[in-house]
């Protein structure tokens, strides 16, 4: 299932977009490529699409399970453009997008599939779901110089906060049911992070519809898609546990030599289980039990 371009995939990959949910994995490098793809296959996505440079090798056991699309993620705007093209091609389909070395977790994901969760979410008349991007990092950068290790993964158990999201079209009054969320490495290492990239909220799960557009700040042109809950009660939220920030901070010459460790007093080993994220308040079950 190899497509030579995004155009080729949209023209000949109808089987992948026949029924959702569909995961779009944008591959920036080869770090944890196999584990990322396997994790999302195990989540129960109907199709997993890996958009990756032609020079990268696909793990042999995934050749027949993953739709591979030759694609270059640079410059970053190409990722948003690609998501928008898939939205246009698959109205009504639930979509998810992330990058390699990122892992979706949702409440009770060990025993329930992504399809089951989205069925419930749809019944609550929701067309999008807020996902918090939770930074993962290796506790020892001498042993793991790229900051990536599944076995030694840690996360911050505290230090997360939210601010009102101002509406420039309404005298900067706070937008209804929208917040800007911060925390993790993007907060602790903010001197190395551009201001527009410091938020950790991403609307990564959403249902495509005509006219919907993903914007470069990971929000949508439909404001209801950007809300964390409906007006009458709390809704489900999910988490994307991601090595992407740690990896970038150690790869960037401007920060690599300034950072000797990401570990601090509020670090805790990541247990690779949704219960830990629920207990830390990093995602919400809403009315789903």
Domain boundary among 78, 100, 122: 100
Q: List the end-to-end C-alpha distance of the chain, in Å, as a whole number.
A: 37
Convert the pLDDT of each residue in 33-56 to its tens digit.
999 999 999 999 999 999 999 999
Do 83 and 71 lie in a common domain? yes
Convert the pLDDT of each residue in 244-275 to its tens digit.
999 999 999 889 899 999 999 999 999 999 99
Q: Which of 278, 18, 238 is CA-nearest to residue 128?
A: 238
Do 247 and 111 lie in a common domain? yes
Domain boundary among 53, 84, 100: 100
For residue 257, give its domain range.
Answer: 104-199+209-289
What does the pLDDT read at residue 247?
Answer: 97
Give Cα 212 distance to the centre of its chain.
Answer: 18
pTM of the model: 0.95
Q: Which of 188, 186, 211 is CA-nearest to residue 198?
A: 186
Higher-scoring residue by pLDDT: 101, 20: 101
SS3 content of the chain, % helix, strand, coil (to 5): 25, 25, 45
CA distance linking residue 40 with residue 102, whole number of Å: 10
CA distance linking residue 42 with residue 95, whole number of Å: 16
Pairing of strands 94-99, 22-26: parallel
Mean pLDDT of 164-192: 93
Do 143 and 269 lie in a common domain? yes
Do 96 and 118 lie in a common domain? no
Residue 204 lies in a domain: no
Domain boundary among 47, 65, 100: 100
Q: What are phi and psi of 268, to 5 degrees?
A: -145, 145
Name which of 6-15, 129-138, 153-162, 217-226 the model is least confident about.
Answer: 6-15
Overall domain count for the chain: 2
Residue 233 pLDDT greater than 90, yes or no? no
List Cβ neighbours of 237 (8 Å cut-off, separation of 6 or more): 129, 130, 131, 132, 228, 283, 284, 286
Cβ 187 vs Cβ 197: under 8 Å: no
Q: How confident is the model at residue 289 (pLDDT cuts 50, 70, 90)?
A: confident
Residue 122 pLDDT greater than 90, yes or no? yes
What does the pLDDT read at residue 71?
Answer: 96
């Amino acid at each position: 299932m190899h497509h030579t371009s995004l155009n080729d995939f949209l023209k000949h990959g109808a089987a992948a977009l026949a029924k959702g949910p569909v995961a779009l994995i944008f591959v920036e490098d080869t770090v944890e490529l196999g584990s990322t793809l396997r994790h999302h296959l195990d989540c129960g996505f109907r199709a997993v699409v890996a958009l990756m440079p032609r020079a990268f090798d696909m793990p042999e056991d995934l050749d027949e399970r993953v739709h591979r699309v030759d694609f270059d993620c640079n410059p970053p705007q190409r990722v948003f453009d690609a998501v928008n093209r898939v939205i246009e091609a698959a109205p009504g389909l639930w979509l998810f997008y992330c990058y390699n070395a990122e892992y979706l977790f949702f409440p009770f994901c060990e025993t329930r599939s992504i399809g089951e969760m989205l069925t419930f979410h749809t019944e609550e008349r929701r067309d999008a779901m807020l996902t918090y991007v939770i930074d993962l990092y290796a506790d020892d950068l001498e042993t793991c110089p790229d900051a990536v290790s599944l076995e030694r993964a840690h996360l911050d158990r505290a230090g997360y906060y939210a601010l009102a999201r101002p509406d420039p079209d309404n005298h900067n009054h706070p937008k209804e049911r929208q917040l800007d969320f911060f925390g993790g490495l993007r907060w602790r290492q903010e001197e190395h992070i551009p201001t527009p990239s410091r938020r950790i909220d991403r609307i990564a799960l959403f249902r495509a519809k005509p006219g919907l557009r993903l914007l470069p700040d990971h929000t949508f042109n439909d404001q209801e898609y950007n809300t964390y809950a409906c007006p009458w009660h709390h809704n489900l939220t999910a988490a994307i546990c991601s090595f992407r920030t740690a990896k970038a901070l150690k790869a960037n010459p401007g920060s690599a030599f300034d950072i000797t460790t990401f570990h601090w007093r509020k670090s805790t080993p990541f247990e690779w289980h949704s219960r830990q994220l629920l207990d830390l308040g990093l995602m919400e079950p809403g009315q789903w039990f």
